Structure 1
């Protein structure tokens, strides 16, 4: 670098000194002028060409430094992770009374901070490429099953043939996309205690040997339970104890990405049985939410990131539910995209 600078200085002296002389004599001797110009060209070539590689590296280094500064200011790990707090800035809209025609989008009226995050819904090919080689486990109650349906609707060109298999009464489900080496499993686990057993089972299988998918832990786990407990047990303290057991089981896993589907907004007037209307009340729901907060299951004290069904269902409103507890596909579709965007932000920040 020092030699390149010295060479450039010497070349400048050789170039500009004769040029000044040529200007002084131009009106007196044209032959001298053109001779001087020829000399300047030769001298510049002799002095500068040996340092061309170093100068090229100098320019390249400068460009790389500027590029790094621009990238760090626009997509640094801290700014990427900060975008996680803005993922729920979404709107729902529809053109009819049909809840299946409801659509969603990240809000158009964004603050500068949200606009800088540049959230963008992943389409099928992008999602398949991003999730290639991934083992995804979805476990829990009916909310988890609807979440998985929305994920399959994104990943598959025609998920209809699998819908009947997915919604078999209280059944598990598995599907593999061979070309992408992408595996999706669903485990029916309506109680938190069921989820604890399933996580311990997955941990045991992940400690095995062999080349099959079962010889490793899942890469992503999405879990959620509580609706059945509200209806059939109706004991917030018992629910909290089972969540703490689940939190302990999660700590034994080999660090997959863990997501928790919390309870949705319930609309008592739309619940379709007398037992649900009697037991699944707003005060009881509030106590269940409090138990989740005290359980250390979710961040910052636990290992699960919340996929906020309550927030998204609230944004969509009571017009998005027909039975008071399950919501339009747009709600679960939004949650799928929020999960994917979370994984994108985490990956680009690591």
Structure 2
């Protein structure tokens, strides 16, 4: 708009038979004035209304665009063919399962399993016959529950090909004791000692992923108890205990972190209805991070 003003107004003035000097002087003064106004706009938002570009910044698609490679349904089916996948955790883990199944099942199949998949505080089991994939969701909201899952695997001497685990939200709400959370994570690490890295063998037979806690939007949490106990300060303390427990691969453990906190933060407020659970795009991004890691590790073993 400024360019059009600078171009056409002097042309119109020239049509009024003004002298060339007057036209040049006016166009120069007009250009300088417009340039000053444009540079001052960001500092006076109340005077100059902002544009609707903020809506674009809250578009949840950056969660997926951060992933280097988004696998197709065929690629996912080939990668997970014949696999046994176990996901253990709370409602965040259940939403992760939804996004994973959404990549291998049709829309009709997804609709048919909704009722069973979303039964509160319950386990879920499915076999996708077309690709021979078996998936188990285990309701395990506390780290101590996750330790029991590992113990059961060792007792039965049967292990999944892929294991995804995560906890923290329930402990933060019902115990609000970050040091106790850290102790339970260290017990979990001890149960995983047989699978700790030895030389170049980082997983000893199966792939392990840790589903991190999401960014909590305190003012949107749906109960007063949650708003009081689940603060950003408490979240930071729980995160510190996670890193100090050394269960993550980068700290010498076995779990590769699926960073839900970072992905949910980038999606922003519009991605959540209750300040805790996010739109499917966040969990879909986590699934693709996991799938890409599996793809890389499978190529390395070849």
Taking structure 2 as the reference length, the TM-score comes to 0.74
**Structure 2: distance between partners of 1:287 and 1:234:** 10
**Pairing of 1:150-299 with structure 2 (within 5 A):** 150-158=99-107, 159-205=110-156, 207=157, 216-253=158-195, 254-299=204-249
Structure 1 residues 94, 182: closer, same or farther in 2, change over 3 A? farther
- Structure 1 contact 203–252 (Cα < 8 Å) conserved: no
Gap regions ≥5 residues in structure 1? 1-92, 108-117, 208-215
Question: 1:124 offset after TM fit, Å?
Answer: 1.3
Aligned mates of 2:224, 2:128 — CA distance in 1: 42
Show the counterpart of 2:281: 330
Cα distance in 1 between the residues matched to 2:281 and 2:87: 18
User: 294-303 vs 182-191, which deviates more?
Assistant: 294-303
Verify the 8 A CA contact 1:102 1:328 in the aligned structure 2.
Answer: no
1:304 aligned onto 2:263: no
Look up the match of 2:51: none
CA distance, structure 2, for counterparts of residue 105 and residue 186 of structure 1:
24
CA displacement at 1:160 relative to structure 2: 1.4
CA distance in 1: counterparts of 2:241 and 2:187, whole angstroms: 13
What is the match of residue 86 of structure 1? none
Query: Which structure's CA Rg is the greater one?
Result: 1
Distance 1:103 1:287, change over 3 A: closer
Residue aligned with 1:105, SS: helix
Note if 1:148 corresponds to 2:97: yes
Task: Please say if residues 95 and 102 of structure 1, whose CA atoms lie closer than 8 Å, have aligned partners that are also in contact.
Answer: no
Change (3 A) 1:122 1:145: same
How big is each residue's C-alpha offset from its partner over 1:308-332, in whole Å with a ceiling of 9 and x where there is no partner?
0111111111221110011110000
Task: Measure the CA separation in 2 of the matches of 1:349 and 1:342.
Answer: 11
Correspondence for 1:341 = 292
The alignment of Structure 1 onto Structure 2 pairs a total of residues equal to 237
Larger RCO (CA within 8 A; separation ≥ 6) = 2
Contact 2:63/2:266 (<8 A) preserved: no
Distance 2:64 2:229 in 1: 34
CA shift for structure 1 position 240? 0.2
Q: CA deviation at 1:172?
A: 0.1
Deviation at 1:122, TM superposition (A): 1.0
Q: Shift in Å at residue 199 of structure 1?
A: 1.0
Q: Is the 8 A contact 1:217 1:256 kept in 2?
A: yes
Residue of structure 1 in register with 2:64 after alignment:
105
Contact 1:94 1:102 in 2 (8 A): no
